[in-house]
Amino acid sequence: MAQRKDSSGPLNRRGFLKGAAGAAGGAAAAALGTADQARAAAAAPVAVPAPTPAQLDRDAGLIEPALPPRAAVRPGSDLMVQVLRDLGIEYVASNPGSSFEGLQESLVNYGEPPNVRPEFITALHEETAVDMANGYGKAQGKPMCALLHGTIGLQHGSMAIYQAYYAGTPMLIIAGRDNGFIQAHTADDMGALVRSYTKWDAQPKTLAESLTAIQEAYRQAITPPCAPTLVILDTELQKEEAGTLQVPRYQPPVIPTIDATTARDIAASLLAANNPRIEVGQLRTPEGVALAVQLAERVGASTSTRATAGPMSFPQRHPLCGPGADTRYDFRLGLEVGPADVALIGPRVASLHTLRDKGGIGFGGLRAANAEAAAPGEAIKRSIALDAEASLSLIIAAVDAAVTPAQRALIASRSAKHASVNQESYVSGLKQALLVKRKGWDNSPVSTARIYAELWPLLANEDWCLASPSNFSGSHHRELWAHNKPYSYLGTQGAGGMGYGAGACGGAALAARERKRIVINIQTDGDLNYQPGVLWSAVHHKLPLLTVMHNNRAWHQEMMFLQYMAGVRGRGTDRAHIGTTLRDPFIDYAKMAAAYGMASEGPISDPAKLAAALVRGIASVKRGEPYLIDVLTQPR
């Protein structure tokens, strides 16, 4: 570790800690009399054992960890990595820590080739590691792994875990535990730190248990309701000699589905209807989306979608997606959404709250009853509490078994009518949207609508993913872009917290890197300042990520709140900028990106220069070089 020097000479980390402790003790003695000291000592809680000099030296990197007389020939952490490989985990994102040094060594050295599936992804903050797993999970519908260091790593990552839990994202979290090292970094029940917002956790006591715990955590994460799960791995288990121990066979989850009779009933209702409708919410995986498309095409049903609100829903520009030729639907099937005559709605994360929230925290949004709100006067006639995706194959098979040639001809005719009307509806809606979004087209700072509008022609023929939340930048993609892939738009933060965007976009870019996608991040300025280090991770791992700054130089929503509050109190709004703006000095995000090694340009305030910058950015990303464009923007 490099030493810091001042007029007093060199000062290393150990010296600083010892000096700080001595200075604090001297100041306390001077400030308290003897009697006061006695009372303070009697009232003081039992102190956490201070790190030993050897521990401080090791933590500061001044000595190497002591090795046993003979290192393990077949270390337990190799088997842990093999479990992750067998589960198909592509990436493990982590900010390195000593409590999992055995596992990290296996990740980067075990196997042929090493450091591949999973690949170790270096994050500069634990929250970034978890947010990357969140973005990846949303894009792929399956978990990646975040690896955290002890109590402090879990606490750093806790905000991101909380957001992923609200979003229902499948995720595997592993936390290292070293009970023989710095005591403030360990705990008897480490999982309790995040138990109220994880689905499942375990702290195995043996190496064999640790292997099955990782498998169970994965299984729980992908079983509805999907959510983050946690395994605590003691450092001794990572370094233990595995001997002849074998990796147990993984048993995939059995997801409850409808029975054959119910499938036949639903199929019969769809085929008997003159104008069936399928309402599609968020399914679990891309396979579920493909099955929903198959069912709609089999029965000629018009469909709804939530693809402009989040991932894993019906393709927005599919010919059957839209109001259809007739809005008087005589049978509605809901897939993870209501209202409907029959709705298949799997369990939600809120259903776990009573079981997991042992401390009675009662997080808002998780307290709510597990029910789908129906439109006024349109109650769900029959709700079946089973996973929609797992049920679709049975319904499709029942349709195929029952459909007649006459019905096929009717379905083909109905589908053609739906396609014609839906196309007309799309064109009409686009024209209306363009009239609105042209307002302020040539203004400086740049309008957020122009950013989305200028991007679309560059993306229309690419495989793209908009991974950043859009609620603070106008959500203009909803009308202007075509959301036809399960990962076209990944939605919002989950719990609405800041600091999520860049990390989640990095995770989506991990999913995109080997799949030749482009990931777009319309990045709000306040949000980036929570986790700017992800820019370095994107460059280091060559992620296909284009970041376009929505740089309005403020936390604008909070500024509006303050303006309103000052206004209703009759105090004027001239001081509402205090504590809500990013000025004096302005932040140069192009230089920030450059400091992390990312190609960048800006700030751009002239809208006429935006299109050329976007062309350069897209070209860079397609070469595997992430790019940032700083754009000075209108507030929204």
Per the prediction, the chain carries an average pLDDT of 90
The per-residue pLDDT for range 40-53, each reduced to its tens digit, is 444 455 566 777 77
Tallying the residues shown for the chain, one arrives at: 636
HSE-CB at 338 with a 13 A cutoff on CA atoms is 24
Q: Name residue 408's beta-bridge partners.
A: none
Neighbours of 529 (CB within 10 A): 16
The per-residue pLDDT for range 56-111, each reduced to its tens digit, is 776 666 766 665 555 789 999 999 999 999 999 999 999 999 999 999 999 999 99
Q: Give the whole-angstrom CA distance, residue 404 versus residue 256.
A: 30
Answer yes or no: is pLDDT of 379 > 60: no
Q: Give the whole-angstrom CA distance, residue 266 versus residue 393.
A: 12
Domains within the chain, CATH numbers bracketed? 76-239 (3.40.50.970), 260-352+376-428 (3.40.50.1220), 438-632 (3.40.50.970)
Are 318 and 360 in contact by the 8 Å Cβ rule? The answer is no
The per-residue pLDDT for range 469-479, each reduced to its tens digit, is 999 999 999 99
Question: What pLDDT does 18 receive?
Answer: 40
The per-residue pLDDT for range 220-239, each reduced to its tens digit, is 999 999 999 999 999 999 99
Strand 4-6 relative to strand 9-11, pairing? antiparallel
Q: How confident is the model at residue 54 (pLDDT cuts 50, 70, 90)?
A: confident
Question: What pLDDT does 456 receive?
Answer: 98
Alpha helices, H only, 100-247? 101-109, 126-140, 150-167, 207-222, 235-239
Q: Element (H or E) spanning 521, and its range?
A: strand 518-524
